[in-house]
A and B are shown apart, each in its own frame.
Chain A
Amino acid sequence: MDNALETRMDAGLESRSIRTDASGRFIRGFGYIVIGLFALFSLLPFLLVLGTSFTAESAIRQYGFNLIPRVFSTFAYEIVFENPQRIVGSFILTIGLVVVGTAIGLFIIAMTGYALQRPDFAYRNKISFFIYFTTLFSGGLVPFYLLITQYLQLKDNYMAVLLPGLLSPFLIIMMKSFVRSIPHAITESAKIDGAGDFTIFVRLILPMTTPALATIGLFLAISYWNEWYHSMLFLSADMEYRPLQYFLYQTITTADFIRNSAAASNVPLRDVPLESMKMATAVVATLPVIFFYPFVQRYFIKGITIGAVKG
């Protein structure tokens, strides 16, 4: 998206003088109702999870899940954090994956995107197609699984989660679209001054593409934070530390973690706040995203509008 369009989207339509006749007022009123309801229903489920996490288990068993706790209790959180090493360890592991994966992935994506956008690069079309072809045809999940577990021997290795998420054709194409807006003359004049291609990329291009890097970096970061699929495929359930969403998945589906924490904190099994602990774990695993999200939202908007059509 170019800057002018962005400004217009930001400024909204105040500039547009639309007369308010009856039909205009009707549509506008309808719009406020529909959009308002949609926004409300986007938020409510989160409040339901939050409310349930603070509800006493007895109240859940009697009245079911509720937005507002009938009987307020922080018991679920107390047990989750009574033996914090597992969830804190998973937290640190996930942050580590986000930071390392985003840094490496972003650097490779930016470098590749720049090289493939250089008009004087003889192999750009061949390499672009080589990358793009992987979205058209794949060997399927089973051979991929055997590759990781049998040939690369990465079962129960965090590399099996980190490596496959580093790059995607979609993000490389998005980077190419961003780079396209930088005039090639900048590269050419730097070459005349004797700069090498890699130097041009690091010294000139990277600083000029910070909005692109922010957008692509955020896409990478959110995908590492939300990663559960490769974890489920390649990490055993009994590993001490697991990426947070996979940890949450197992807390929800097997309740192993809940039973273990209850045992560790000497709570009899029948008193375990099974349901509210699921919700409390979900709150802990999601809060960071919700906290950062309003600050970074606009970068995603930029990415969607650029990546959308050539996706």
Chain B
Amino acid sequence: MLARLRSNRTLLIMCLPAIAFFVVFAYLPMPGAYMAFIQFNYSDGIFGSKFVGLDNFRFLVLTGDLWRLTFNTIAYNIAFILFGNVMQILVAVLMNELRLKWFRKVSQTLMFLPYFISVVLIGLIAYNILSYDFGLLNSVLRSLDIEPVKTYSDPTIWPFIIVLTFLWQSTGYGSIIYFAAIMGLDSEVVEASEIDGANAFQRIYYIILPWLKPTFIILLLFSLGGILKGNFGLIYNLVGANNSALYPTTDIIETFVFRALMTNFNFSQGSAVGLYQSVFGFGIVMLANWLVRKISPENSLF
């Protein structure tokens, strides 16, 4: 035991900064999840506050908040995963058909760009297009004599806005994985199919798409593991901090917890939703990983 420690001493010391980091920023807060079971108030502190058992959860269920948050979070993620992967595959497959190298380089660079700017700027861009008074969308509608849309008070249009913005932001970036997978396809297979007389559609349908299937399944399962984790940055910056008119269709777990913490100071309710997300998220990752291990063991996480 000691000998083992000694021979590994330097490597262990090299890992210490990272271990200390995760202890402080990830493990120390974990016992704080206990706050979900108390009626937290500042003066009594965490362990002096009254223990209320599952009351915080009961309240969230009775108000319907928990159901709405869960539904919105999952629905957005499903839309992101589904439309995201379809667009990424489409872009990668079409990119693969292009012959002009400069065209491919330039368009790839441009499609990549939205991924690297801050979500704050994405929020501003959306405002540029959607603002009721000055937005490009309503300018166009007005010039066509169509009634302008009250964008920031109409909750029904936001699922479209949020999903479209997500696709705009991440399709270029995500398509790289599929494009790299297509590049890994043996060119002899493609050539053989041509000799056999396959046309371009057949080549894509019978060779390229099936070749991408394992990548798709793995990416799908990984994203399913995170299906309870909302895209806080995007939604918060698009919708704005306190636009309660849009909550029915835009409020997700993260935005609710953030509000509980920063505006309502209801720490116990925030913790309760956070713990619910962690526990169920954990279960879903386990399930997803179990599926990965069945389908392709070398890709499983543990």
Binding site for B on A (CB under 8 A): 1, 5, 8-9, 12-19, 21-24, 26-28, 30-32, 34-36, 38-43, 45-46, 48-49, 52, 60-61, 63-66, 108-109, 111-112, 114-116, 118, 121-123, 127, 129-132, 134, 136-147, 151-152, 163-164, 166-167, 172, 196-198, 201, 222, 225-226, 228-229, 233, 245-246, 248-249, 252-253, 275, 278-279, 282, 285-286, 289-290, 293-294, 297, 300-301, 304-305, 308-311
Find the A residue at minimum CB distance from B193.
Answer: A18
B257 at the interface (CB under 8 A from A): yes
Sampled A-B contacts (9; CB under 8 Å)? A21-B199, A27-B200, A31-B94, A48-B128, A136-B285, A138-B278, A167-B18, A308-B177, A308-B219
Residues of B contacting A21 in the complex (Cβ-Cβ under 8 angstroms) = 199-200
CB of A42 within 8 A of CB of B124, answer no
Find the B residue at minimum CB distance from A201.
Answer: B14
In-complex Cβ contact of B274 among A43, A112, A140, A278 (8 A): A140
Shortest Cβ distance from A72 into chain B, in angstroms?
A: 17
Q: Which of A66, A111, A121, A140 has the most CB of B within 10 A?
A: A140
CB of A137 within 8 A of CB of B120, answer no
Q: Can you list, as one digit per residue, whether each of B21-54 has a CB less than 8 Å from chain A (1) or not (0)?
A: 1101111111111010000000000100000000
Given A226-B119, A301-B176, A309-B218 in contact, is the A14-B32 Cβ separation under 8 Å? no
Given A64-B135, A226-B119 in contact, is the A166-B21 Cβ separation under 8 Å? yes
Q: Can you list, as one digit per residue, whether each of B62-97 has a CB less than 8 Å from chain A (1) or not (0)?
A: 000000000000000000000000000011001111
Q: Can you list, as one digit per residue, whether each of B106-124 has a CB less than 8 Å from chain A (1) or not (0)?
A: 1101111110111111011
A140 to B32, CA, bound (A): 8
CB of A45 within 8 A of CB of B125, answer yes
CB of B19 within 8 A of CB of A127, answer yes
Shortest Cβ distance from B180 into chain A, in angstroms?
A: 4
CB of B139 within 8 A of CB of A64, answer yes
Shortest Cβ distance from B99 into chain A, in angstroms?
A: 7
Residues of B contacting A24 in the complex (Cβ-Cβ under 8 angstroms) = 97, 199-200
Given A16-B187, A43-B113, A145-B261 in contact, is the A31-B97 Cβ separation under 8 Å? yes
In-complex Cβ contact of B109 among A112, A198, A297, A311 (8 A): A297
Q: How many A-B residue pairs have CB under 8 A?
A: 320
Interface residue range, chain B = 35 or more
Residues of A contacting B29 in the complex (Cβ-Cβ under 8 angstroms) = 138-140, 143-144, 146-147
Residues of B contacting A52 in the complex (Cβ-Cβ under 8 angstroms) = 128
A170 to B289, CA, bound (A): 17
Find the A residue at minimum CB distance from B180.
Answer: A305
Interface residues of B, dominant DSSP = helix
CB of B257 within 8 A of CB of A141, answer yes
CB of A226 within 8 A of CB of B22, answer no
A123 to B18, CA, bound (A): 14
Given A42-B172, A300-B112, A308-B177 in contact, is the A65-B131 Cβ separation under 8 Å? yes
CB of A35 within 8 A of CB of B240, answer no
Residues of B contacting A17 in the complex (Cβ-Cβ under 8 angstroms) = 191
B194 at the interface (CB under 8 A from A): yes
CB of A108 within 8 A of CB of B18, answer yes
CB of A289 within 8 A of CB of B116, answer yes
In-complex Cβ contact of A129 among B11, B28, B203, B302 (8 A): B302
A166 to B22, CA, bound (A): 11
Find the B residue at minimum CB distance from A144.
Answer: B29
A152 to B136, CA, bound (A): 46
Shortest Cβ distance from B43 into chain A, in angstroms?
A: 13
CB of B134 within 8 A of CB of A27, answer no
B157 at the interface (CB under 8 A from A): no
Given A138-B26, A201-B14 in contact, is the A282-B121 Cβ separation under 8 Å? yes
Given A123-B12, A166-B21, A222-B116 in contact, is the A64-B133 Cβ separation under 8 Å? yes
CB of B134 within 8 A of CB of A13, answer no
Find the A residue at minimum CB distance from B94.
Answer: A31
A17 to B187, CA, bound (A): 9
Given A48-B128, A130-B19 in contact, is the A304-B8 Cβ separation under 8 Å? no
